[in-house]
Amino acid sequence: MAYKPNAFYHRHIQSQANEALEKEVIDQATYHRILEAYPNTLYTPNIFVRLGLFLLAVLATACGAGLLMLMASGNDVAFRIMVIIAGFGTFGALEMFIRKRSPFRAGLDDGLLYAAVCLVYFGMVVDADGIGPSLECLILLVIALVCCIRYVDALMGLVTYGALLGLIYFSAVQWGATGRALLPFIMMIASLAPRPLLFRLAKRAAALPWRHCLDLLNASTLLAFYLAGNYYIVREANALISGVPGPIPLAWLWWTLTIVTPFVYIGWGIRKKDPLFLWVGMALVTAAVFTFRYYYHVLPAELAMVIAGALLIALAYVLLRYLRIPRHGFTSAPADEPRPSGASLVEGLIIAETFQPQQPADAGFKFGGGSGGGGGAGGEY
- For the residues 352-380, what does the mean pLDDT come to? 48
What is the Cβ-side half-sphere exposure of residue 28, based on CA atoms within 13 angstroms?
Answer: 0
Question: For residue 301, how many other CB atoms are within 10 A of its CB?
Answer: 9
Tell me: the pLDDT tens digits for 38-51?
888 888 889 999 99
Tell me: the pLDDT tens digits for 66-94?
888 888 777 778 888 898 999 999 999 99
361 pLDDT tier (thresholds 50, 70, 90): very low
Tell me: the pLDDT tens digits for 316-350?
788 777 777 776 667 766 655 444 333 444 444 45
Tell me: the pLDDT tens digits for 3-36?
887 888 888 888 888 888 888 788 888 888 888 8
Q: Quickly list DSSP for 43-58.
A: B---HHHHHHHHHHHH
pTM assigned to the model: 0.81
More confident residue, 103 or 245: 103
- Distance (Å, whole) CA 187 – CA 254: 13
Residue 144 has pLDDT above 90, yes or no: yes
Whether residue 86 contacts residue 65, with contact meaning beta carbons closer than 8 Å, is answered with yes
Q: Is 45 left (phi over 0), alpha (psi -120 to 50) or beta?
A: beta
Whether residue 40 contacts residue 14, with contact meaning beta carbons closer than 8 Å, is answered with yes
| Structure confidence at residue 272 (pLDDT) | 83
| Structure confidence at residue 365 (pLDDT) | 46
More confident residue, 245 or 361: 245
Residue 224 has pLDDT above 90, yes or no: yes
Q: Which residues contact 244 (CB under 8 A, 6 or more apart)?
A: 238
Please give the backbone phi and psi of residue 371, each rounded to the nearest 5 degrees, phi first: -150, 160
More confident residue, 59 or 273: 59
- For the residues 367-371, what does the mean pLDDT come to? 48
